[in-house]
Every structure is written in C-alpha cells, then in structure tokens.
C-alpha cells in the first residue's frame, strides 16, 4: 500500500491530494501531505486537513512548539476545523507566494483557512531583501472565513517548548486565547473565544464563524510577558494586514526570478522554497526545516537537518543565483566571513556545517519521549556529523565562490577585493593541497571507516582549479604553481585509481568496485566531459546498477558500507543529476522524460522531500529538502536551454545541441 493507504503509486501524480484527507481518523499524515509556511527565519508544516503539526520558534534551530509530526499521540499541534464532518479538501498557495489557502468542505458549507508566517511588521518591500523584520517573524497567523453559510468551529491546541520536554504552564484567558510560558519564554495563543484546558493539557474551544465576519488565530513567540499579553489587544485588521503584507513581499521577491521555459512555474515554486530555507538574520541556509523524518519508515536513519551545511548552502546559492537572487549569496558570504573569522590562517578549523547563528558544536542527542514519525526512532536533535572530515566541502566552497564572482556583477567583483573572504579562500586552497591525499567520510557522511572517496578527490581538484582561475583573473601576480601542481596530481590519481575497468565506472572510493551516484557530478563540475568514454560508461553503469524503478539510489547499502543498517529510498537529487548528465550527452528526449517524471513525485503543492520510495512514490526524509529543490532548478535550467538550442539550431543533431550549454553554469569551463 502507499504511505497514505491509497494503494501503490508509481508516480506522484497518481496521488489525489483530496484522498490524503481521512475524515475517519487522525494519525500520522503522509509527508507529502504537508504544506510549508516560512518567513526566512523559521517554518511550519500544515497538513491537508488544516492541522499545524510542526512549528519551531523563534527560529529553525529552536525546540519545536508544535511537534505532532514526530508523535501523533502526544505531540503538540494546533487545529481549527468545522464541527461537522469534512467531506472534501482543496488547497493552493497564492501565486508566487508562501501564503496558503485551504478550503474544507462540509455538508453545512465551506471553511476557508488562510495561513502565513509574517515577514514584515510594516512596509514589506525590503522584507525578503536582507532586512530582518525582527519580532514580527516569530509568529504564525491563521485567517478563518465561512464561505457561504455559518459554520460552527472547533479549536484544539497542545503547545509547549522544546518538543514538550520543558516544564511550562498554560493560562487560558477569560477574554479569549491563552498564554504559555516557562518563566523565560512566552507563547501567545490568539483566539477570539474562551478556551479551556482539559486533563490532557489540550486547549479546547468553539465558536461560530459567519460569512463576511472572519476570525483570526495566531501563535506568537515573545521574550517577555508584557510583549506577549500585548498581542491579545491587536485588531482583526492588524492580523489581516500581516497576511497581506507577507503575500506582497513574496510576490515582489518572485518578480525578480529570471526563469523561463515550460517548467518555469515548477522552478519558481522551488526557488520560493529555497528562499524560505534561508535564515535571513545571519545569511545561513538550512538543509531542511525538520528533524528526524525517516529515510525509511521504521528505520534509524533519522537526522536533524536544521543546520547550515556548507555543501548544501553552496549548492543552494548556485540555484538561487541561476534565478537571479544575489541578495542571498551576498548575505551568505558575509556569514562565512563572520563565522569563519580567523580561519584563513587555520583552514583546518573550517567545519562542514554550523548552526544558523554560527555555532560550531552541534552535539547529537536522542529525544526518547517521542515515538518518532510512524514509529521511526530515534528522534534526534543536533547532528553528529559536525566534526567529520569531508574533503569535498573545500572544493564546493571555492566552486561557489568562483560562480558568484562570475555572475554576481559588481557584488561578485567586490567580494574578491574583500581581504576577509578572499583571504579565507586562499587559505582553503592551500589547505586542499595539504590534505587531499587523506581519507574522509565523503559526501554522504559515512559513519563507518574513512576512505579515499573519489568524489571528494574530484572536488579537491575543482577547488584548486577554481582558485587558480580566480588568481589569474583578479591577482595575476600571485604564484599559483603549488595549486596547479597539486591540482594536476589529483587529476592523475583520480584517473588512475578512481576508475575501475572491471566495474566500467568511477567508483565510490579507491580499491572498490562499489558505485556512487555522486560520480554523476563529475561532468557537471567540469572534471571530464559527459561524452568521455569513461564518463559515459559511468553514467550508464549507474543507470543500470543504482536504479530503482528508474530512480537513482546514492549507493547500494545492503552491505552496511555507510556504517548503518540498510534501508533508504531513492535520493531525488541523484535522479536530477542524471537528468543533467543526459542533457550534457545530448539525450534530450530521455532527459526530458525523466525530468517530467520526477516532477510527478512532487506534492500537490510542488514540494519535495529528500527521498522517494520507489515502490510507492511516497516522500521520505526531511521535508521540504533544499537538495532536491536546488537540483530541480539546476536540471530544469540546463534542460530548458538545451531544448531551446535544439529548436534554434536548424539541422543540428540532438548530440550536438545537447552539448552546447547556454547558461552561465559550470560546464562552460572546460577542464584544465
């Protein structure tokens, strides 16, 4: 059966979003049933039945105040629903916005719910352009309207701090709403009617909403009791203004997205999702807004993704730059400068990931009081990979810097002249030369023994290649012979030890024939062209060996090569990498078919998790996942350009057309 109980689904388009609503009961929802609300500071997840099952305040990395996503029985949630049975649901994002509209149909009429996480207190124009809206972002606002007939509504909420582990008190207010606090933090639960607290710690209430007389609901975080209590005095117009200002801000940001072609709507939704995963106060970017959504139901591969991986962040910046957002890139490099201050002289201190505020130590612990999504335990906060050695990160950082300098206009030119950032890049390049011969945990953060991972070596080559080119362009007097010599040595070793004639492919690491989908990145970063016989063979072998119903696995995990019990879905980013490789080979019809098939695995709102269950089409892993959305944009931009090129070049073969890249991407730099 599919995850939602509706039977097998070979493709996401086979899943009717209305069928996700199960009026008979309320347990765990399919991961793809959730809509994202975000404000570039935190995020919430709203189920198809209107229940809000995930919310971290005041920011992404905070302990959740609503967490039913990870414990359907006792987790925190907020629900406002008709008292009569719901017989249908439809929902949508407002165009180019993260304002969500959900309509619940009953035999008595329709209830329209509009949800938003505000991005601005006043003028919303700069709200998503590097100007932090402060306390206005520490809240979620819900607007409820009876569409045609009066409706009786039921209010239910269970809230707390730190996934319910903290001690707190709940105070229902006689004038409506409630206050939740632990003496240092306050949550204002704004509701126009009285609430009572039942014996299970759930706030309950009821009222009637009439056509033309909407009501507002909000959850807001404050650092003082006075500020929290002041929220109960705000007018209905204030709350509506917060929603409309937020809608305006998102639409204004989306206007600047340079996206064309037949997939522009899908790519724009992915761009909006990536923007929502930026932490604007510092410039960091999170990999996903959730923790511990499992890579296989009932498994132990449940990780906390609410941190800034340098690799994920640089990939995200590449995608955002492709659609025209330079603000996020500028903010990220300033964050790098602040977070890694002093590391130019000691780049070995550079970590693979940081907290969104720049924190270095992210110890991993388990929350034993939570059942986990569908019984998938443990639930983890923190991430034990923070102190791993992953050599590819150095190359990813220099690659992203090179791309920003090339396409960032005056911003990109100016940042090379910044002694802090450029000094760090020089230190990173020197460090690559010193460490590239070492073993590491690799791109996939293996928790087993370190190995000589081929992809890590390739990205070390990329880092030195980009450093040489940066110096040639902006500091021609610098002696780059050390970088050049080490770059060439890496290339020679990878070609000699990283390719297995027996496997017919570049492998996961030296001395093995195991394949790794990360090898699909090799032509995308310019190490070898896609039509090199070794690269072409690698692409074909990955298609044959790592395919699960046409979707690409990271690697075969049956032998616990990553130090963990086997069991995970197909990684969506890997399939999008394959699309890009097929595009580069000129196999455009095949690339187009696979890309469009992948779009079918999105939720009804265009959102993707980290992985896909090949057997059912269900979403797996943390959600929504930056990796997947950025890869969709990359592949979509390149495929669109290649298809347009094929149409424009009269008489050209698919092979010739597909190998000509029109975008300012990585493939237009031939290997050194």
- What is the reported pLDDT for 563? 72
Stated length of the chain:
672
496: burial class by Cβ within 10 Å (0-12, 13-18, 19+)?
exposed
- Of the pLDDT bands very low, low, confident and very high (cuts 50, 70, 90), residue 291 is very high
In a domain, 12, yes or no: no
Residue 512 and residue 380 in one domain: yes
Collapsed DSSP state (helix, strand, coil) of residue 465: helix
Residue 206 and residue 326 in one domain: no
Residue 164 and residue 49 in one domain: yes
Collapsed DSSP state (helix, strand, coil) of residue 162: helix
Q: Work out whether strand 203-209 and strand 215-222 pair parallel, antiparallel, or are unpaired.
A: unpaired
In a domain, 1, yes or no: no
pLDDT digits (tens, 9 = 90+) for 546-603: 999 999 999 987 665 777 787 789 999 999 999 999 999 999 999 999 999 999 999 9
What percent of the chain stands above pLDDT 90? Answer: 77
CA distances to 109, 112, 212, 213, 223 from 146, rounded to whole Å, are 7, 6, 7, 8, 34
In a domain, 268, yes or no: yes
Which positions ≥6 away from 477 have C-beta within 8 Å? none
Number of compact structural domains in the chain: 2
For residues 218 and 63, give the distance between their C-alpha atoms in angstroms, rounded to a whole number. 19
For residues 467 and 461, give the distance between their C-alpha atoms in angstroms, rounded to a whole number. 10
529: burial class by Cβ within 10 Å (0-12, 13-18, 19+)?
middle
Residue 175 and residue 303 in one domain: no
Residue 278 and residue 218 in one domain: no
Task: Give mean pLDDT, residues 452-472.
Answer: 97
Residue 271 and residue 152 in one domain: no
Q: Which of 318, 413, 366, 3 is nearest to 163 (CA)?
A: 366
Give the distance between the most distant pair of CA atoms in the chain.
77
- What is the reported pLDDT for 650? 55
CB-CB contact of 626 with 312 (8 Å): yes
Residue 266 and residue 222 in one domain: no
Calculate ∠ Cα 275-278-281, nearest 5°.
125
- Of the pLDDT bands very low, low, confident and very high (cuts 50, 70, 90), residue 6 is very low
CATH of the domain at 67: 2.70.98.50
pLDDT digits (tens, 9 = 90+) for 85-112: 999 999 999 999 999 999 999 999 999 9
- Could you say which of 253, 284, 318 is where a domain stops? 253
In a domain, 24, yes or no: no
- Could you say which of 210, 230, 253 is where a domain stops? 253
Which positions ≥6 away from 340 have C-beta within 8 Å? 349, 350, 424
561 against 633, higher pLDDT: 633
For all residues of the chain together, what is the average pLDDT? 89
In a domain, 25, yes or no: no
pLDDT digits (tens, 9 = 90+) for 422-446: 888 999 999 999 999 999 999 998 8
CB-CB contact of 634 with 569 (8 Å): no
| CA pseudo-torsion sign 625, 631, 633, 635 | negative
Q: Work out whether strand 100-106 and strand 139-146 pair parallel, antiparallel, or are unpaired.
A: unpaired
Q: Which domain holds residue 337?
A: 256-442+451-471+484-668
In a domain, 557, yes or no: yes
pLDDT of 412 higher than 90 = no
| CA pseudo-torsion sign 612, 616, 618, 622 | negative
In a domain, 21, yes or no: no
- Could you say which of 253, 268, 290 is where a domain stops? 253
- What is the reported pLDDT for 421? 83
For residues 126 and 23, give the distance between their C-alpha atoms in angstroms, rounded to a whole number. 41
- What is the reported pLDDT for 669? 47
């Amino acid at each position: 059966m599919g995850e939602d109980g509706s039977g097998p689904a070979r493709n996401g388009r086979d899943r009717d979003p209305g069928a996700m609503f199960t009026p008979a009961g309320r347990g765990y929802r399919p991961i793809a049933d959730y809509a994202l609300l975000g404000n570039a500071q935190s995020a919430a997840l709203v189920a198809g039945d209107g229940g809000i099952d995930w919310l971290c305040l005041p920011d992404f990395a905070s302990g959740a105040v609503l967490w039913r996503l990870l414990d359907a029985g006792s987790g925190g949630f907020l629900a406002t629903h008709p008292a009569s049975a719901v017989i249908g649901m439809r929902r949508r994002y407002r165009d180019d916005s993260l304002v969500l509209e959900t309509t619940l149909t009953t035999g008595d009429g329709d209830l329209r719910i509009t949800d938003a996480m505000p991005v601005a207190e006043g003028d919303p124009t700069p709200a998503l352009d590097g100007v932090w809206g402060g306390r206005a972002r520490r809240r979620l606002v819900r607007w409820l309207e009876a569409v045609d007939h009066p409706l009786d509504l039921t209010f239910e909420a269970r809230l707390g701090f730190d996934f319910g582990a903290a001690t707190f008190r709940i105070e229902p207010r006689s004038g409506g709403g409630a206050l939740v606090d632990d003496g240092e933090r306050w949550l204002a639960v704004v509701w126009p009617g009285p609430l009572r607290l039942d014996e299970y710690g759930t706030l309950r209430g009821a009222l009637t909403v009439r056509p033309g007389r909407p009501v507002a609901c909000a959850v807001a975080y404050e650092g003082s009791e006075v500020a929290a209590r002041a929220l109960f005095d705000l007018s209905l117009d204030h709350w509506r203004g917060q929603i409309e200002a937020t809608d305006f801000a998102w639409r204004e940001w989306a206007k600047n997205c340079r996206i064309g072609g037949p997939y522009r709507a899908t790519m724009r939704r992915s761009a909006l999702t990536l923007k929502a995963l930026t932490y604007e106060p510092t410039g960091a970017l999170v990999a996903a807004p959730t923790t511990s959504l499992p890579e296989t139901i009932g498994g132990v591969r449940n990780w906390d993704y609410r941190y800034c991986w340098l690799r994920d962040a640089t990939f995200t910046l590449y995608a955002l730059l492709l659609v025209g957002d330079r603000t996020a890139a500028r903010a990220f490099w300033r964050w790098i400068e602040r977070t890694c201050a002093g590391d130019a002289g000691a780049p070995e201190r550079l970590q693979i990931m940081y907290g969104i505020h720049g924190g270095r130590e992210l110890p991993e612990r388990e929350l034993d009081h939570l059942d986990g999504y569908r019984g998938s335990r443990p639930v983890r906060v923190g991430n034990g990979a923070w102190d791993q050695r992953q050599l590819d990160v150095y190359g990813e950082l220099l690659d992203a810097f090179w791309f920003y300098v090339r396409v960032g206009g005056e911003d990109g030119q100016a940042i090379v002249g910044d002694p802090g950032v450029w000094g760090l890049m020089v230190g990173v390049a020197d460090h690559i030369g010193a460490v590239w011969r070492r073993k590491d945990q690799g791109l996939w953060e293996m928790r087993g023994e370190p190995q000589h991972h081929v992809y890590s070596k390739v990205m070390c080559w990329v880092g030195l290649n980009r450093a040489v080119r940066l110096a040639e362009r902006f500091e021609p007097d610098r002696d780059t012979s050390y970088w050049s010599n080490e770059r060439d040595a890496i290339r020679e070793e990878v070609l000699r030890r990283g390719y297995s004639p027996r496997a017919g492919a570049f492998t996961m690491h030296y001395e093995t024939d195991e394949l790794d989908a990360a090898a699909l990145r090799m032509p995308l970063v310019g190490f070898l062209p896609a039509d090199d016989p070794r690269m072409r063979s690698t692409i074909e072998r990955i298609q044959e060996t790592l395919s699960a119903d046409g979707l690409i696995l990271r690697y075969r995990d049956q032998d616990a090569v990553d130090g963990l019990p086997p069991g995970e879905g197909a990684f969506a980013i890997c399939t999008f990498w394959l699309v890009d490789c097929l595009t580069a080979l000129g196999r455009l019809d095949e690339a187009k078919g696979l890309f469009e098939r992948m779009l079918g695995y999105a939720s009804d709102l265009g959102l993707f998790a980290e992985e896909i269950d090949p057997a059912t089409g269900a979403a797996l892993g943390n959600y929504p996942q930056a990796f997947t959305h950025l890869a969709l944009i990359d592949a979509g931009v390149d495929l669109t350009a290649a298809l347009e090129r094929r149409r424009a070049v009269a008489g050209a073969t698919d092979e010739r057309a597909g190998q000509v890249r029109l975008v300012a991407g990585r493939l237009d730099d031939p290997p050194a």
